[in-house]
């Protein structure tokens, strides 16, 4: 009968969960003799904060860089919303709504805070001219929303004169402003004070309400436990443990991180 929905029209099984926002299946990456990722399968679901844990050299940053398109896997599959995709450049990951705060902060010292936040994605008017005032206002706004750090209320200040924590705040502000679907944070709190760290972690947890999921890489299991809904522990390039928050404890996670 016309207009009737036939069973064969219904794409995957009715009632099934939506596919993850992002999924890496069986990905591997080698640097010469070093096997940084060995058959890693990892996903980020809707409205969740995933804690990516593991000792030094476990492969966490490599996985983060792969998700953000800077590192290309040697093998494996990447899917976004259940469909195979290629993520081979920053432009590719931006298109998927992935924003990254890298462990080694990538800021340009001789440029202002505002220029650093909007670098490569400047706001322009319809004639193609940059809207400096608008960008400066937004820079102040975003710096006050995620991590408010004393001394960086002036968006024209040169980044080269900022402290480590202040630079970190600018890097966070940049990712936060462009946040769309997934925020990747690789050791974001290493240069932050206790209060700034708490603000950032609360902010990350709050992003779920705006439909933004996050991946938090940290060596601080207390921070991870505070905000993450699920944990993935890596060791020597492999995923060695996975658990939802309600299935594990800080002690349990510590065991898995140090037992390598």
Q: Which is nearer to Mg ion, 63 or 149 (CB)?
A: 63
Residue 179 and residue 176: Cα distance in Å, rounded?
5
Q: Which two tokens stand for residue 169?
A: 């705040």
Q: Which is nearer to ligand ATP, 58 or 136 (CB)?
A: 58
Residue 174 and residue 108: Cα distance in Å, rounded?
13
Residue 204 and residue 229: Cα distance in Å, rounded?
12
Determine the interface stretch with Mg ion among 8-16, 53-61, 94-102, 112-120 (rule: CB under 5 A): 53-61
Q: Least distance from C-beta 99 to Mg ion, angstroms?
A: 17
Residue 82 and residue 79: Cα distance in Å, rounded?
5
Binding site for ligand ATP (CB under 6 A): 31, 34, 36, 54, 56-62, 103
68 is a site residue for Mg ion (CB under 5 A): no
Q: Which is nearer to Mg ion, 52 or 149 (CB)?
A: 52
Long-range contacts of 192-199 (CB under 8 A, 24+ apart): 192/147, 192/149, 192/165, 192/168, 193/165, 196/147, 196/148, 196/149, 196/165, 196/169, 197/223, 199/146, 199/147, 199/148
- Nearest residue to Mg ion, scored by beta-carbon proximity: 61
100 is a site residue for Mg ion (CB under 5 A): no
Residue 73 and residue 234: Cα distance in Å, rounded?
17
Q: Which is nearer to ligand ATP, 213 or 218 (CB)?
A: 218
In the shown chain, the binding pattern of residues 108 to 147 toward Mg ion, with x for contact by CB under 5 A and - for none, equals: ----------------------------------------
Q: Least distance from C-beta 61 to Mg ion, angstroms?
A: 3
Query: Counting runs of H as helices and runs of E as strands, what totals does the chain give?
Result: 8, 10
Q: Least distance from C-beta 59 to ligand ATP, angstroms?
A: 4
Residue 56 and residue 237: Cα distance in Å, rounded?
11
61 is a site residue for Mg ion (CB under 5 A): yes
Q: Least distance from C-beta 203 to Mg ion, angstroms?
A: 21
Which of ligand ATP, Mg ion, none binds 8 (CB below 5-8 Å, type-dependent)? none
Which of ligand ATP, Mg ion, none binds 39 (CB below 5-8 Å, type-dependent)? none
Q: Which is nearer to ligand ATP, 20 or 54 (CB)?
A: 54
Q: Which two tokens stand for residue 179?
A: 């946040």
Label residue 128 left, alpha or beta by phi (over 0 means left) and psi (-120 to 50 means alpha).
left
């Amino acid at each position: 009968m016309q207009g009737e929905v036939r069973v064969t029209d219904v794409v995957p099984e009715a009632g099934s969960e939506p596919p993850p926002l992002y999924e890496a299946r069986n990905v591997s990456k080698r640097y010469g003799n070093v096997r940084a990722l060995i058959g890693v399968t990892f996903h980020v679901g809707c409205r969740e904060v995933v804690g990516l844990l593991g000792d030094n050299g476990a492969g966490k940053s490599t996985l983060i860089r792969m998700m953000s398109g800077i590192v290309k896997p040697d093998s494996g599959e990447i899917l976004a919303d259940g469909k195979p995709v290629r993520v081979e450049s920053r432009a590719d990951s931006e298109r998927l709504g992935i924003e990254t705060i890298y462990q080694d902060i990538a800021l340009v010292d001789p440029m202002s805070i505002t220029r650093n936040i909007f670098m490569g994605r400047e706001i322009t008017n319809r004639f193609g001219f940059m809207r400096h005032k608008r960008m400066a206002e937004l820079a102040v706004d975003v710096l006050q929303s995620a991590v408010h750090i004393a001394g960086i209320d002036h968006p024209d200040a040169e980044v080269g004169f900022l402290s480590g924590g202040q630079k970190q705040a600018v890097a966070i502000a940049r990712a936060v402003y462009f946040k769309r679907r997934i925020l990747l944070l690789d050791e974001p709190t290493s240069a932050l004070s206790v209060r700034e760290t708490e603000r950032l972690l609360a902010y990350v947890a709050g992003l779920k309400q705006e439909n933004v999921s996050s991946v938090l890489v940290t060596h601080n299991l207390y921070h991870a436990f505070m905000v993450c809904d699920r944990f993935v522990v890596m060791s020597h390039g492999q995923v060695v443990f996975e658990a939802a928050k309600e299935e594990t404890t800080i002690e349990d996670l510590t065991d898995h991180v140090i037992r390598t």
